[in-house]
């Protein structure tokens, strides 16, 4: 079934890879929500609508969500909890259930060993902010999937494995292209509902990501 997907933070690096895959591999149409909309030029204008807005602005979110089947949030920043609150509130108001939310590894202290210690000390308050945002999503009654990527690379590859909440995180890195691919599949197949999934490239265990 063809869907209308709202992408929040549509100029983000993973979001742009996902947009390409949505256009190439599905018939879905996209609403691209971002700050400074002039940065994005639709390649298929009949399937893409660009909307300028800020993810902390409830009114702008509600307006953007009209006619939408699923929301993919590729957001970031120190106010990520406020963004999560606004997104949940807007989805409740408009009556949309499906949300794919990009978070990060480490929010449940699920990263083991030396890499876990390094990850915590390197990321600091970023992790607590992202945990607070994930709590907002998990406390909602949305059909959410929280995606917790390992450290991101720009490698041109789709190669990943998944761990569930409650399991130990695996590996150190994963490509943005893999995360974009997962997002498109999650929305196409409506899977991993009310799950929080860790995503890593297999066989990348180590004390730090390989480039550190």
Ligand X SMILES: NC(=O)c1ccc[n+]([C@@H]2O[C@H](COP(=O)([O-])OP(=O)(O)OC[C@H]3O[C@@H](n4cnc5c(N)ncnc54)[C@H](OP(=O)(O)O)[C@@H]3O)[C@@H](O)[C@H]2O)c1
State the minimum distance, in angstroms, from the CB of residue 86 to ligand X. Answer: 9
SS3 content of the chain, % helix, strand, coil (to 5): 35, 25, 40
State the minimum distance, in angstroms, from the CB of residue 38 to ligand X. Answer: 11
149 binds ligand X (CB under 6 A): yes
Distance CA 27, CA 198 (A): 28
> 4: closest CA among 48, 50, 54?
48
Site track for ligand X across 38-77, x = CB under 6 A: ----------------xxx-----------------xxxx
119 binds ligand X (CB under 6 A): no
Q: Which residue has the tokens 């990009």?
A: 102
Pairing status of strand 161-164 against strand 195-200: antiparallel
Distance CA 100, CA 91 (A): 12
Comparing every residue's Cβ against ligand X, the nearest one is 12
Binding to ligand X in span 15-34, by CB under 6 A: 15, 34
Q: How many residues touch ligand X (CB under 6 A)? A: 24
Q: 56: helix, coil or strand?
A: coil
Kindly list the residues in this chain that would bind ligand X in the complex (CB under 6 A). 9, 11-15, 34-36, 54-56, 74-77, 83, 102, 104-105, 149, 151-152, 176
């Amino acid at each position: 079934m063809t869907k209308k997907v709202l992408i929040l933070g549509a100029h983000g690096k993973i979001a742009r890879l996902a947009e390409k895959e949505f256009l190439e591999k599905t018939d879905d149409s996209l609403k691209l929500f971002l700050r400074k909309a002039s940065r994005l030029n639709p390649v298929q204008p009949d399937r893409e609508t660009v909307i300028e807005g800020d993810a902390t602005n409830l009114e702008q979110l509600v307006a953007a969500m009209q006619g939408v089947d699923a929301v993919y949030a590729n957001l970031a920043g120190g106010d990520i909890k406020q963004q999560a609150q606004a997104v949940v509130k807007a989805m409740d108001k408009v009556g949309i259930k499906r949300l794919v939310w990009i978070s990060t590894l480490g929010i449940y202290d699920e990263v083991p060993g030396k890499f876990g210690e390094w990850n915590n000390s390197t990321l600091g308050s970023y992790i607590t902010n992202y945990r607070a945002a994930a709590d907002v999503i998990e406390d909602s009654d949305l059909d959410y999937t929280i995606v917790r990527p390992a450290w991101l690379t720009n490698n041109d590859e789709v190669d990943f494995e998944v761990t569930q909440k409650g399991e130990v995180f695996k590996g150190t890195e994963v490509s943005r292209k893999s995360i974009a691919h997962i997002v498109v599949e999650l929305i196409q197949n409506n899977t991993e509902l009310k799950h929080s999934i860790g995503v890593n490239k297999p066989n990348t265990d180590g004390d730090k990501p390989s480039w550190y």
